[in-house]
Amino acid sequence: MKIGVVGLGSMGYGIAASLIRAGHEVHGADVNPDAVRRLQSEGGQGEALADAAAALDAVAVVVLNAAQTEEVLFGRAGIAGQLRPGAVVICCVTVPPAIARAMAARCAESGVHFLDAPISGGSVKAAQGKLAIMASGSEAAFAAARPMLDACAETVFELGDSAGIGSAMKAVNQMLAGTHIAAMAEAITFGVTQGIAPETFLKVIPECAGTSWMLENRAPHVVAGDYTPHSAVDIWPKDLGIVLDAARAAKFAAPLTAAALQQFIAASGMGLGREDDAAVAKVYARNAGLTLPGES
Catalytic residue among 170, 203, 251, 282: 170
SS3 26: strand
Segment 269-279 mean pLDDT: 98
Assigned architecture for domain 2-162: 3-Layer(aba) Sandwich (3.40)
pLDDT tens digit sequence for 87-128: 999 999 999 999 999 999 999 999 999 999 999 998 899 999
Residue 83: band (very low, low, confident or very high) from pLDDT cuts 50, 70, 90: very high
In the chain, what are the domain boundaries?
Answer: 2-162, 167-288
Average pLDDT in the chain: 97
User: Looking at residue 220, what is its pLDDT?
Assistant: 98
Answer for the pair 56, 28: CB distance below 8 angstroms, yes or no.
no
Residue 30's contacts (CB-CB under 8 Å, 6 or more residues apart) are 6, 7, 8, 9, 12, 36
Dump strand ranges (E) for the chain. Answer: 2-6, 25-29, 58-61, 88-91, 113-116, 119-120, 131-135, 153-158
User: Looking at residue 122, what is its pLDDT?
Assistant: 87
Residue 48: band (very low, low, confident or very high) from pLDDT cuts 50, 70, 90: confident
Nearest Cα to Cα of residue 70 among 111, 98, 39, 32: 98
Answer yes or no: is pLDDT of 296 > 80: no
Phi, psi of 85 (to 5 degrees): -55, 135
Answer for the pair 240, 233: CB distance below 8 angstroms, yes or no.
no
In this chain, the answer to whether the domains covering 2-162 and 167-288 adopt an identical fold is no
User: Looking at residue 11, what is its pLDDT?
Assistant: 94
Segment 245-257 mean pLDDT: 97
* CATH number among 3.40.50.11540, 3.50.50.60, 1.10.1040.10, 3.40.50.2300, domain 167-288: 1.10.1040.10
Q: Which residue(s) pair with 155 in the sheet?
A: 132
Percent of the chain with pLDDT over 90: 96
User: Looking at residue 223, what is its pLDDT?
Assistant: 98
Answer for the pair 58, 87: CB distance below 8 angstroms, yes or no.
yes
User: Looking at residue 276, what is its pLDDT?
Assistant: 97
Q: Is 170 a catalytic residue?
A: yes
pLDDT tens digit sequence for 135-193: 999 999 999 999 999 999 999 999 999 999 999 999 999 999 999 999 999 999 999 99
SS3 60: strand
Segment 252-275 mean pLDDT: 98
User: Looking at residue 164, what is its pLDDT?
Assistant: 97
SS3 42: coil
Percent of the chain with pLDDT over 70: 100
Answer yes or no: is pLDDT of 46 > 90: no
pLDDT greater at residue 123 or residue 251:
251
Segment 197-202 mean pLDDT: 98
- For the entire predicted model, the pTM comes to 0.94
